[in-house]
Structure 1
Amino acid sequence: MELKRPDEGEKGFEKVFAFLRDRLLAGSLKPGDRLISERDLAIQLGVSRPLVREALRALSMLGIVEIRDRIGTIVTRPDVSVLNDFFTFALAQQADMLDDVMQARVAIECQAIRLACERADIADFERLRAALAKIADTIDEADAGGMADFEFHRSIVLASHSETLAVLHNSMKGLLTHSHRSRRELVQAFPSMKKYLIEDHRRVFEAVVARNPDRADAALRKHFEIGNEYRRRALVGEHDKRKASR
C-alpha cells in the first residue's frame, strides 16, 4: 500500500487542482473528457496515488469531476449555484463584510444595467415588467416583497446577457435576499417607502426600456442611495429608543 508523505498533503492537493485548472483554461480538457488514470496522474505530478484519489474526491464533491466505476474520472461542468451557499456561510459570520458585499452588488448591477440597455430583448423586458408588477403587489409583505425586489434586480443582471455578471450576482443571492427582506420590514416604520419602492423601480425599468444607459445608471444609483438613507434613519431610530430606555 502506497502511503502519503507527511509533508505532501497541502502541496499535493494544490498540484492536482492546478493540473485540472490549467488544462481547462488552456482548452486541452473540456467537460466530458476523461482524465488520465490515477496512477499516471500521480507519476506525472510526483505525488502519491492516495493523495490523488483524495483530491479527485474533493473535486467530485465540488462538482468539477465525476468518478465513474470502471470508466474513470470525467470532467464535468460544475454547478455554479454552489457559490451562493459558500458566500452566504463565509460572509454571513462577518458583520463588517455586509457593506462590502453591498458595494460589490452596486458595481455588478450598475455595469449590468448599462449592458442591459444595449442587449435586452423582448423577453427581458417582459421579465422586468412582471417583476415590477410583483413589487407593487407585495408592497406590504416582507418575505414575498423582499423576494420580488431581488427578482427585479436579478432580472436587470440577466438582461445584461453577461454570464459572468449573472454568476457573481447569483453567488450573493442568500445575502442579497436577506438585505431586500430587511428593507421591506422598514415599510411599516416608514410608510413613505411604499411610494419610493414602486416609483424608483419603475424609473429604472423605463430607463432600460428606453435603452438609455446613462439615465438607467443614474436612476439605479439614486435608488441605492435612497435605500441606504432609510436604513440609516432606522438605525438612528433604534439607537434613540435604546438610549431612551436606559
Structure 2
Amino acid sequence: MAVTDEAITKIKDMLISGELKAGDRLPPEKDLSERLGLSRSSLREAVKALELIRVLDVRRGDGTYVTSLEPSILMETMSFVVDLHQENSAAQLLEVRRILEPGSASLAARRISPEAAADLRDCVAVVGENSSEEELVAHDLAFHARIAKASGNSYLQSLLDGLAGSTMRSRIWNELTLDKAVAATLAEHAAIARAISTGDPDLARALMTVHVSGVELRLSQAA
C-alpha cells in the first residue's frame, strides 16, 4: 500500500470508529502525523486527497475540519465524473438510471407528502410541447430531482442527482424534439406524477421503467 493510501486509510478508520466526527477539527499536523506513525508529507497528501472528495475542509489560517459527510456532498465527485464522461457513456448512464429511477418512483409513491405531491404536479404543469429546449431541460432536471427527494432515501437521491448531467439532458431533449416526441414524453411525466401523487408504487415503478427505457432506446437509435 502506498504511503499516501495508508494515511487516507488511517484517517478513514478514525472516522469509522467515531474518533473523528462530522464537524470536528483535526489535530495539528505534527501531532496527528506522530500519532498515526506517518510522515508529515504523506499526511499532507492524504489531507489534499480527502479535501478533493469533500471529506475534509481545509480552512486556511484556521485548520482542517471534517465536513458534514452528508451524501449530497460526498457524491459531488461522482457528478464531476459524469459530466466528464457523459458524451461517451450516455448509454451506460441511462442503464444505471433505468435500474435506480423506477425504485425511486416507487418509494416516492409510498412516502411523498401532500405538499411535495402538489409541487411535483406543478412542475409538470408549467411546461408544454412549445417550451424551449432550455425550459425542457430545466423541467426534466427538476422533475426527476423532486421524485428522488420524495423517495426519502438520501443516498439514492444523491446518486440520482450525481447522474443528472445537464449536457446529456440537453442531448436527450434535442433528440425528442427532432422525433416530435416532446408532447408524449411530457405526458409520461404527467402520468408518473399522478401515480406517485395517488400513492400507487407499482404503477409509478412501471411507468418510470417505460419512460427511461424509451429515452434509452431513442438515444441508441440516434447513435
Give the TM-score normalised by the residue count of structure 1: 0.78
Deviation, 1:119, is: 0.8
Residue in 2 aligned with 1:43? Answer: 34
| Equivalent runs, 1:1-246 vs 2, <5 Å | 11-68=2-59, 72-77=63-68, 79-80=73-74, 81-89=76-84, 91-92=85-86, 95=88, 97-136=89-128, 139-174=130-165, 177-191=166-180, 193-235=181-223
- Amino acid in structure 1 at the alignment position of 2:197: V
1:240 is aligned to: none
For 1:50 and 1:162, locate their aligned partners in 2 and report how far apart those are by CA, in whole Å. 39
Shift in CA distance, 52/61, structure 1 to aligned 2, threshold 3 Å: same
Tell me how far apart the structure 2 counterparts of residues 225 and 84 of structure 1 sit (CA, whole Å): 22
- Find the aligned partners of 2:15 and 2:65 in 1 and give their Cα distance: 13
Q: Rg: which structure is higher?
A: 1
1:22 Cα offset (Å): 2.0
3-state SS of the aligned residue for 2:126?
Answer: helix
CA contact (8 A) 2:57 2:64 kept: yes
**Letter paired with 2:160:** H
1:141-196 deviations in Å (ceiling 9; x for gaps): 2222122112111111111011001111111222xx323322322344322x1331
Q: Could you tell me whether the CA contact under 8 Å between 2:86 and 2:168 is conserved in 1?
A: no
Distance 2:32 2:57 in 1: 16
Distance 2:221 2:91 in 1: 16
* Displaced runs of 4 or more, over 6 A: none
Aligned residues: 219
Alpha carbons 2:98, 2:213 under 8 Å: kept: no
Using the alignment, how far apart are the partners of 1:169 and 1:230 within structure 2? 21
Q: Is the 8 A contact 2:90 2:168 kept in 1?
A: no
Letter in 1 for 2:86: A
SS at match of 1:181: helix
**Compared CA separation, residues 198 and 11, structure 1 to 2 (3 A):** same
Segments of 5+ residues of structure 1 without an aligned counterpart are: 1-9, 236-246
Cα distance change of structure 1 residues 186 and 140 upon mapping to structure 2, 3 Å threshold: farther
Per-residue deviation, 1:63 = 3.4
Distance in 2 of aligned mates of 1:207 and 1:226: 18
Q: Distance in 1 between matches of 2:56 and 2:127?
A: 40
Structure 2 contact 104–151 (Cα < 8 Å) conserved: yes
Return the offset for 1:118. 1.1
RCO higher in 1 or 2 (8 Å CA, sep ≥ 6)?
2
TM-score normalised by the chain length of structure 2: 0.85
1:52-91 Cα distance to aligned partner (Å, 9 max, x none): 12322343344322345676432222533343223322x2
